[in-house]
Chains A and B, each alone.
Chain A
Amino acid sequence: MLAHIGYGALLLTFLLALYAVAAAVYGALKGRPEWVESARRAVVLTWPMLTLSVLSLVALLVTNQFQIEYVASVTSRAMPLYLKITALWGGQAGSLLFWSWLMSAFTFAVMLRSWQRDREFLPWVIVVTMVTLAFFLSLNLFVENPFARLWMTPDGRVIGAMFRPHGAVPFTPRDGNGLNPLLRHPGMIAHPPLLYAGFVAFVIPYAFAMAALITGRTDARWIHITRRWSLAAWLFLSLGLILGMRWSYDVLGWGGYWGWDPVEVAALLPWLSGTAFLHSVMIQEKEGLLKHWNMVLIILTYALVIFGTFLTRSGVLSSVHAFAQSAIGPLFFGFIGITFSISLFLLMRRWDDLKSDMRIESLLSREALFTFNNMVFMGILVVSFWGVIFPILSELVTGQKVTVGPPFYEKATGPLFALMLILMGIAPLSAWGFASAKRLGRLIWIPAALAVATVVVLVILGVRSVWALVGFGLVAFVAYITLGEFIRGVRARMRRGEPVHVALARLIARNRRRYGGYIVHLGVIMMAVGIIGTHFFASETQATIPQGGSISLGHYTMTYDGLQEFYANDGRHVARAIVSVYKDGKKVATVYPRRDFYLDSQQPMTIPGVRSTWLDDFYVILVDWQPISVQGATFKVYHQPLVNWIWMGGIVFIIGTLVAVWPEPDPEEAAAKRKKKRATRQRPVPRSARA
C-alpha cells in the first residue's frame, strides 16, 4: 500500500515536471504569463509530492517491509532506527530518489523568491530544473524503482518488480541484507547527502545561466541572483568531501584519507570547476571580464555534477566506492551529452553579446592573477579528469585498458597545487586594473622574510626533506600574507579608536565576502600543513606481540594490555584490544583498536584506535589475535604527523564559507533603499542628470 502511494507520487511528480516544462515553454514563447504562472505552480507542487514519496520509502524502511526489494537490500532487523532512516541513501534506487527530492526542494525555494525584476528568467529556470528533475525521476520510475516488490517466479528465481510478473508469487525474506557495515559511520551517514546537496545546488546557478543565454539578458544579473546558491553548493560539496576524507581515515583502516579513487575524483571535479567559477564571477562583477569563461565554467560544473552522480552510481569504473552496479550508465551518458551540447549551442548563439567590457592589461593586476588561478584550477581538473577517463580512452584507442594510480595524480597535481597556493596568497594583494611589481614587492617582503625565517627554524628543528621545506616555506609565506591582511585591516580600524576585538569583528562583518574568503584561505593553508606533514613524514610498522609486549615507532611505544570479546546489541561481535600509548616513556593514552563482525552481512570491519593531538596521530589497527595462545595479537601502527591540521583546517574553511555566504542586503536592493531614503530627504534628481 505504502509502496503504491510512494510510486504513485513519483509518477505524478514526473508528469508535473513534464507539464511544467511544456507550459513554461509555451507561456514564454507565446508571451502568455498565465501559462508560466501555471508552470510555476506545478513546480511548487513537486516538492510536497516527492516528500510524500520519500516519506513512504522511509516508512517502509523503518517498519522492516522486506517484501520491498530496496528495503531488503539495505536494511536488516538488527539495525538501529537512525540507520534505517539513513538507508534512504544507502543504495542506488534510494539515493537517486533522494537526489530528486533535493532537486525539487531547492527548486521550490527558488520558485518562492521575488521574481518581479527577473520575470523573463522564470520560464527557463523552470525548464532547466524540471528537465533535470524529470530525468532523475525517470531513472527511478523505469530503471531503479525503490518501491519494487520481491516476487518468486515459477522457476524459483527471486526478482523485483512493481507489478506481479506472470505466474509469480509474492516473496518476503525474513530479514534484509543490512547496510554495508563500511557505511555505518557518522561521517558516511552525512557524506552522501551533503555531496548530493552540493551537486544539486549547482543546478540552480546553471539554470539561471541558461535562462540568461536564452533570454539574451547576459549582464551579471544571473550571477548576482545565484551568488549565494553557488556558495551554498560549494559549502555542501566541501563539507561532503571533508567528511568523506574523515570517513576514509576512520573506517578504511589504512591510515590515509584520500586515495585518488575514481569516485573521490568524481566528487572533486565539480568542486574544482565550482571553485574556479566562484572566483571568476568576482572578476565579471567587478570588471566585466571573463563573461564567456563564466558560462563555460557553470556549464562544465553542471555536466560534472551529473557525471559525478553517474560515476558513483553506475559502477563503470573500478573503484572501492562503486557499491552500486546497474544499467543506468548509457542513460546518464546520453543526458550529459544532450544537455552539454545544447548548453554550448546556446552559448555560441550569444557569443557576441558576451564580449568583455574591458581587457586585461597588466600581468600583475588582480584580474590577471585571478585568471591564472582559474587556469590552475582547470589544470588540476584536467589532470584529474584525465586520470579518471584514461582507462576508457586507452581502451577505445588501443583496445588495451591502461590505468594510472595515485602516483600519477600526486605527481601531476603537486606542482599545480603549489602554484595555486602562491596565487591564492598574492592575488588578493594586487590591485584591480593595474599593479606594479614594486607595489606588490612592498606588500610581500615582510611575509617572505618571515617565511624564510620559518624554514630556517624548521631546519634547526631537524626537518631535512627539501620538498617538505619548500612546501612549508610556501605555506608559511601565504599564511603570513593572509594574516597580514587581517592585521592591516584591524590596525586601520584601531587608529579610529576601536579596541582590537571590536575592530576584528567589524572588519569581518563589514566585508563578509572578502574576509570570509580570507578565512577560507586560512583553512586551505591549515589543510596544506596537514597534507605536507602526512605526505612527507608518515611512518608505519607492524608486529605480533604477546600480551604485555610492546611496539615502538618514533617517540611512541604501545603496549598490548589485553583483549575483550563481546556481542553488541546491534548485531555485532566485537573484539577489542586494550592498548596503552607511551610517548617518550610517559603514558599518554589508552586506545581501543577493534574488529567488529557484522552478523547479518557476515562482514568484519576494522576500527582503529587513535591517539590524536594537534601535532600528530598515533593510529593503531588490530590486525589479528589469538584469544588463548601466548602469541597474542598482531598490530599495524601508523604515525601521522600533523594530520589533525586537515580536520581543523576543514572546520576553519567551513566557517569562512559561512561568513561569506551569510546574507548581506542585496546590493541593488540596498542601493534602492538608500536612494529612497535620499529621495525623502532631498529633491529627486532627474535620471538623466545623474547618469
Chain B
Amino acid sequence: MSGRTRFIIGGVLIVAAVVYLIASATKANAQYFLTVNELLARQDELVGKNVRISGAVIGDTIQYDPQKLELRFTIAHVPGDNKTIEAQGGLAKVLHEAVKDPNRAHLDVVYYGPRPDMLKDEAQAIITGHLGEDGIFYADELLLKCPSHYEDAVPEQAEGGN
C-alpha cells in the first residue's frame, strides 16, 4: 500500500469517527424541548422521559427550604416560538402576561440545589428534567433568563418631561 493510500484511509477513518460520534451522542442525549402546553398534552407518553421545558416563573409561588435545599415554584405556559414571541411584543411582555393570566396552563416544579440568583417573578425558566407520575416536574438543571427592559422598571420612577 502506498503512503498516499494509507494517508487517505487515515482521513476517511477520522471522518467516519466524527460521523459515528455525532450520531451516537445525538441518539443518546437528544431531549424534546417543549412548552408547558405541549408537555401536558402529551403527558401520558412523556412521564419519566428526560425533556427540556420552558415557562414563565410565577414569583408568588417560589418556596425555598434551605434545610433540604428544596426549591418549589410554578411556571406558566409561554409560547416556544421566537416569532410568536416577537409578534406578541417581545419576551418581557410575553412573560409578564403569562404570569398575570390565570387561565394559562401551570406546572409545578421541584429542584434540589442552591436557589439560583436569577430566579424571580417573570423570569423565563428553561428546565431540564422529567415529569413525575404525580404531575410535578422534577428538574435536574435550571437555566434562567431575565429580559431586563426599561419598560418594566422605569415608569414608576418617571419624572415627567424636561
Binding site for B on A (CB under 8 A): 67, 69, 72-73, 150, 152, 156-158, 169-177, 180-182, 253, 315-316, 318-320, 322-323, 325, 327, 329, 359-363, 365, 368, 371-372, 375-376, 379, 382-383, 386, 390-391, 394, 400-405, 407-409, 411-413, 415-416, 419, 434, 542, 544, 601-606, 621, 623-624, 631, 634, 636
> Which residues in window 59-106 of B have CB below 8 A to A?
64, 66-67, 69, 80, 82, 86, 90-92
Asked if A415 contacts B21 (CB within 8 A), the reply is yes
Give the distance in Å from the alpha carbon of A174 to the alpha carbon of B151 in the complex: 14
CB B122 to nearest CB in A, in angstroms, measures 12
Q: Is the interface of A mostly helix, strand, loop or mixed?
A: mixed
Q: Is the CB of B159 within 8 A of A408?
A: no
Q: Are B31 and A175 in contact (CB under 8 A)?
A: no
**Smallest beta-carbon distance B131→chain A, Å:** 16
The residue on A at minimum CB distance from B86 is A327
B residues less than 8 Å from A67 (CB atoms) = 162
Determine the distance from Cα of A604 to Cα of B62 in the docked complex, in whole angstroms. 15
Taking the nearest CB of chain A, how far is it from the CB of B161, in angstroms? 4
Instruction: Give Cα A316 to B126, complex, Å.
Output: 14
Give the Cβ gap from A630 to chain B, nearest Cβ, in Å.
13
Can you show 9 pairs from A to B with CB atoms below 8 A apart?
A: A158-B151, A177-B154, A327-B86, A360-B7, A390-B26, A401-B80, A409-B25, A416-B21, A542-B69
Instruction: Give the distance in Å from the alpha carbon of A394 to the alpha carbon of B17 in the complex.
Output: 23
Q: Flag whether B135 is at the interface (Cβ < 8 A).
A: no
| B33 contact set on A, CB distance < 8 A | 318, 391, 401-403
Given contacts A400-B32, A412-B25, is CB(A171)–CB(B161) below 8 Å? yes
Task: Indicate which residue in B25, B117, B144 contacts A604 across the interface (CB closer than 8 Å).
Answer: B117
CB B126 to nearest CB in A, in angstroms, measures 5
Residues of B within 8 A of A (CB): 2-4, 6-7, 10-11, 14-15, 17-18, 21-22, 24-26, 28-34, 52, 54, 64, 66-67, 69, 80, 82, 86, 90-92, 113-115, 117-118, 120, 126, 128, 141, 143-151, 153-155, 157-162
**A535 vs B128: C-alpha distance in the bound complex, in angstroms?**
21
Q: Please pick, from B66, B145, B160, the residue contacting A623 in the complex, using a CB distance under 8 A.
A: B66
Are A415 and B17 CB-contacts (below 8 A) given A371-B11, A603-B117, A603-B120?
yes
How far is B59's CA from A603's CA once the two chains are assembled, in angstroms? 13
**B3 and A362 contact, CB distance less than 8 A:** yes
CB-based closest 4 A-B pairs: A624-B66, A379-B18, A412-B25, A362-B3
Chain B residues positioned under 8 Å from A404 (CB to CB):
25-26, 29-31
| CB pair A318 B17 closer than 8 Å | no
A363-B10 contact in complex given A316-B82, A412-B22, C-beta closer than 8 Å: yes
Which residues on B sit within 8 Å (CB–CB) of A322? Answer: 145
* Total A-B pairs, Cβ < 8 A: 196
Chain A hits for B147, CB < 8 A: 325
Chain B residues within 8 Å of A69, by CB: 150
Q: A360-B4, A434-B3 are in contact. List 10 more A-B contacts (CB 8 A).
A: A150-B150, A152-B161, A158-B155, A172-B162, A173-B150, A383-B22, A401-B34, A403-B52, A412-B24, A412-B26
A401-B148 Cα distance, complex, nearest whole Å? 26
Q: Smallest Cβ distance from B29 to chain A, in angstroms? A: 4
When chains A and B are docked, how far (Å) is the Cα of A82 from the Cα of B159?
Answer: 27
With A401-B80, A404-B31 given, is the CB distance from A182 to B162 under 8 Å? no
Nearest CB of chain A from residue B104's CB, rounded to whole Å: 19
Complex contact B22–A182 (CB within 8 A): no
Q: Which residues of B contact A391 (CB under 8 A)?
A: 33
| Partner among B29, B117, B161 whose Cβ is within 8 Å of the Cβ of A605 | B117
Task: Name B54's closest neighbour in chain A (CB-CB).
Answer: A318
The winner among A156, A177, A365 for most chain B CB atoms within 10 A is A177
* With A180-B148, A253-B114: A368-B10 Cβ-Cβ less than 8 Å: yes
Query: By the criterion CB–CB under 8 Å, are A376 and B150 in contact?
Result: no
Most buried by B among A181, A371, A408: A408
Q: State A369–B126 Cα separation when bound (angstroms).
A: 42
- Contact call B144/A320, Cβ cutoff below 8 A: yes
Q: Which A residue sits closest to B66, measured CB to CB?
A: A624
- Interchain nearest-CB distance for B56 vs A (Å): 13
Bound-state CA distance A631–B66 (Å) is 10
User: Is the pair A363, B3 in contact by a Cβ cutoff of 8 Å?
Assistant: yes
Minimum distance in angstroms from A530 CB to a CB of chain B = 23
B69 cross-chain contacts in A, Cβ below 8 A:
542, 623, 634, 636
Q: How far is the CB of B123 from chain A (nearest CB, A)?
A: 10
Closest residue of A by beta carbon distance from B31: A403
B128 and A405 within 8 A (CB): yes
Contact: A416 with B29, CB < 8 Å?
no
Contacting pair B7 A363 (CB below 8 A) = yes
Residues of A within 8 A of B143 (CB): 318-320
Q: Are A405 and B114 in contact (CB under 8 A)?
A: no
Partner of A382 from the list B18, B24, B66, B82 (CB cut-off 8 Å) is B18
User: How far apart are the CA atoms of A180 and B148 in the complex, in Å?
Assistant: 8
Q: Are A174 and B29 in contact (CB under 8 A)?
A: no
- Whether A174 and B159, one on each chain, are in contact in the complex, defined by CB atoms closer than 8 angstroms, is yes
Cα distance, A376 to B17, chains bound together (Å): 10
CB distance from A173 to the nearest CB of B (A): 5
Nearest-neighbor residue (CB-CB) of B141 within chain A: A405
B26 and A408 contact, CB distance less than 8 A: yes
Tell me which residues across on chain A come within 8 A of B15, comparing CB atoms.
375, 379
Q: How far is the CB of B80 from chain A (nearest CB, A)?
A: 7
Residues of the B chain whose Cβ atoms lie less than 8 Å from the Cβ of A624: 64, 66, 115
Smallest Cβ distance from B98 to chain A, in angstroms?
A: 16
Residues of B within 8 A of A359 (CB): 4
Q: A177 CA to B155 CA in the complex, in Å?
A: 12
CA–CA, A445 and B126, complex, Å? 51
Kindly report which residue of chain A lies nearest to residue B64, judged by CB atoms: A624
Residues on B with C-beta less than 8 A from A360 are 3-4, 7
Which residues of B sit under 8 angstroms from A542, Cβ to Cβ? 69, 114
Is the CB–CB distance between A72 and B14 below 8 Å? no
**Distance of A173 Cα from B160 Cα, bound (Å):** 8
- Assembled-state Cα–Cα distance A619/B47 (Å): 36
A173-B157, A362-B7 known; A386 and B26 CB under 8 Å?
Answer: yes
Judge whether B159 and A375 touch: CB under 8 Å: no
Measured between beta carbons, the chain A residues less than 8 angstroms from B155 are 156, 158
Across the interface, name the chain B residue whose C-beta is closest to A409: B25
* Chain B positions within 8 Å of A411 at CB level: 21, 24-25, 28-29
Shortest A102–chain B CB gap in Å is 25
- From known contacts A390-B26, A401-B34, infer whether A603 and B11 are also in contact, taking CB-CB under 8 Å: no
Beta-carbon nearest neighbor of B118 in chain A: A603
Residue of B whose beta carbon sits closest to that of A67: B162
A46 to B135, CA, bound (A): 60
In the complex, are the beta carbons of A73 and B162 less than 8 A apart?
no
| Residue of chain A at shortest CB distance from B6 | A363
**Complexed CA–CA distance, A400 and B45 (Å):** 15
A329 to B147, CA, bound (A): 17
